[in-house]
Homo-oligomer: A and B are copies of this chain.
Amino acid sequence: MDKKMKVGIIGAGRIGRVHAMSISNYIPEVEIKAVSDIYYPSAEKLAKDLGIPNSYENYQEIINDPEIDAVLVCSSTDTHAQISIEAANMKKHVFCEKPVDLSVEKVEAVLKAVEENGVKLQIGFNRRFDHNFRKVKELIKSGDLGDLHIVKITSRDPEPPNPEYVAVSGGMFMDMTIHDFDMARFLVDSEVEEVYVAAACRVDEKIGEAGDVDTAVITLRFKNGTLCVIDNSRKAVYGYDQRVEVFGSKGKAEVANDTPSTATWSTADGVFGEKPKYFFLERYMESFATEIKEFVDAIINDKETPVTGIDGLKPILIGLAAKESVKEGRPVKL
């Protein structure tokens, strides 16, 4: 590319700002030309902070800008599909935050639009780019662990969302476990054929009143024979707990949490260490930059994106099966 690739960011909330900063700081070959937000002051502020030349209330100003090569869809979940389709139709490459949508039909419509327009689509499953999980993936791919038999994913948030949030988010399986479903597919490299969930509301009864659960043990059976178990909690008082362990015919690999330092200390009272990094912004900051770098790389070098539309669709199907399993108290086939 002779000149810089130009992108627009749609949605100037927390994750939109993270991506904007990643591009500013680490991706010199990309220029952010515009940012939009339905709450215009957010867009304006982000533009000012990072020296982005244009800010809009209406995302269509971005989509209609012929100079813009790609858009990052960082708006609220219910608008992801519509904006992604419109962007694809205007021949923009699309980076879309997860989940694409809670409706399978809408997700499929996005995939169709992307395919028809010959543009790239990448879904924001950033954890695939985390240094710890990447190392586990490398160990698996090297063959050093043999055939996978059991995969264990621990994923616990430091504090629960508002009960109002779970009512619109699609619930824990769609807003939180969806990352773990993606991680399971990423590590196992096969498709889930059955889901069983044992779940409960143990953290906040208002979450239960809102029709959701906050604690779960989820068993996935993959087509290639691997068994996977995910354990989730909306509230780990000691902080964000994000670990995986994979066990195969030739060995196992596991990762511990990242911590602010490697310090340990000992007094008459005991032996002490650091709690995990607080939440996803602290833990996964580096992975957010890496995913955008690889999105840009896929566009520039015309390669498949590392997290495709199908990778966006499958976890939603697993999440819907998980919800059905809770409702019916039995394993559900996909």
A256 CA to B332 CA, complexed, in Å: 34
A139 CA to B272 CA, complexed, in Å: 11
**Which residues of A in the span 244-268 have a Cβ within 8 Å of any Cβ on B?**
247, 249-258, 260-268
Additional pairs, 15, CB under 8 Å, beyond known A149-B233, A251-B265: A25-B26, A131-B261, A134-B261, A135-B263, A149-B215, A196-B196, A196-B219, A238-B251, A238-B252, A256-B262, A257-B262, A258-B262, A270-B272, A271-B274, A272-B273
Q: Assess the A237–B261 pair: CB atoms within 8 A.
A: no
Residues of B contacting A233 in the complex (Cβ-Cβ under 8 angstroms) = 149-150, 247
Q: Assess the A150–B252 pair: CB atoms within 8 A.
A: no
Given A250-B268, A272-B270, A196 and B227 touching (CB < 8 A)? no
B50, B225, B255, B274: which contacts A261 (Cβ < 8 A)? Answer: B255
Q: Does A156 contact B (CB under 8 A)?
A: yes
Q: Assess the B272–A263 pair: CB atoms within 8 A.
A: no
Given A217-B150, A217-B229, A247-B156, A265 and B200 touching (CB < 8 A)? no
List 14 A-B pairs, Cβ < 8 Å: A28-B49, A135-B274, A144-B267, A145-B265, A149-B203, A150-B233, A216-B227, A229-B231, A237-B250, A237-B251, A239-B266, A257-B262, A271-B274, A331-B331
Q: Does A221 contact B (CB under 8 A)?
A: yes
Residues 133-164 of A, flagged 1 when their CB comes within 8 A of B and 0 if not, give: 01110010000111101101000100000000
B235, B252, B263: which contacts A236 (Cβ < 8 A)? Answer: B252
Question: Looking at A249, A267, A273, which has the most chain B CB atoms within 10 Å of its CB?
Answer: A267
Q: Assess the A198–B196 pair: CB atoms within 8 A.
A: yes
Residues of B contacting A198 in the complex (Cβ-Cβ under 8 angstroms) = 194, 196, 219, 221, 227, 331
Given A198-B227, A219-B219, A261-B134, A267 and B249 touching (CB < 8 A)? no
Q: Does A132 contact B (CB under 8 A)?
A: yes
Residues of B contacting A237 in the complex (Cβ-Cβ under 8 angstroms) = 146, 249-251, 267-268
**Contact-residue bracket for chain A:** 35 or more
Return A283 CB to nearest CB of chain B, in Å. Answer: 11
Binding site of A, secondary structure by majority: helix, strand, loop or mixed? mixed
A200 CA to B263 CA, complexed, in Å: 27
Residues 113-145 of A, flagged 1 when their CB comes within 8 A of B and 0 if not, give: 000000000000000000110111001000011
Residues 43-86 of A, flagged 1 when their CB comes within 8 A of B and 0 if not, give: 00000011000000000000000000000000000000000000
Residues 270-290 of A, flagged 1 when their CB comes within 8 A of B and 0 if not, give: 111111000000000000000
- In the complex formed, the residue of B with least CB distance to A230 is B229
Residues of B contacting A235 in the complex (Cβ-Cβ under 8 angstroms) = 249
Q: Does A211 contact B (CB under 8 A)?
A: no
Q: Does A112 contact B (CB under 8 A)?
A: no
A266 CA to B272 CA, complexed, in Å: 10
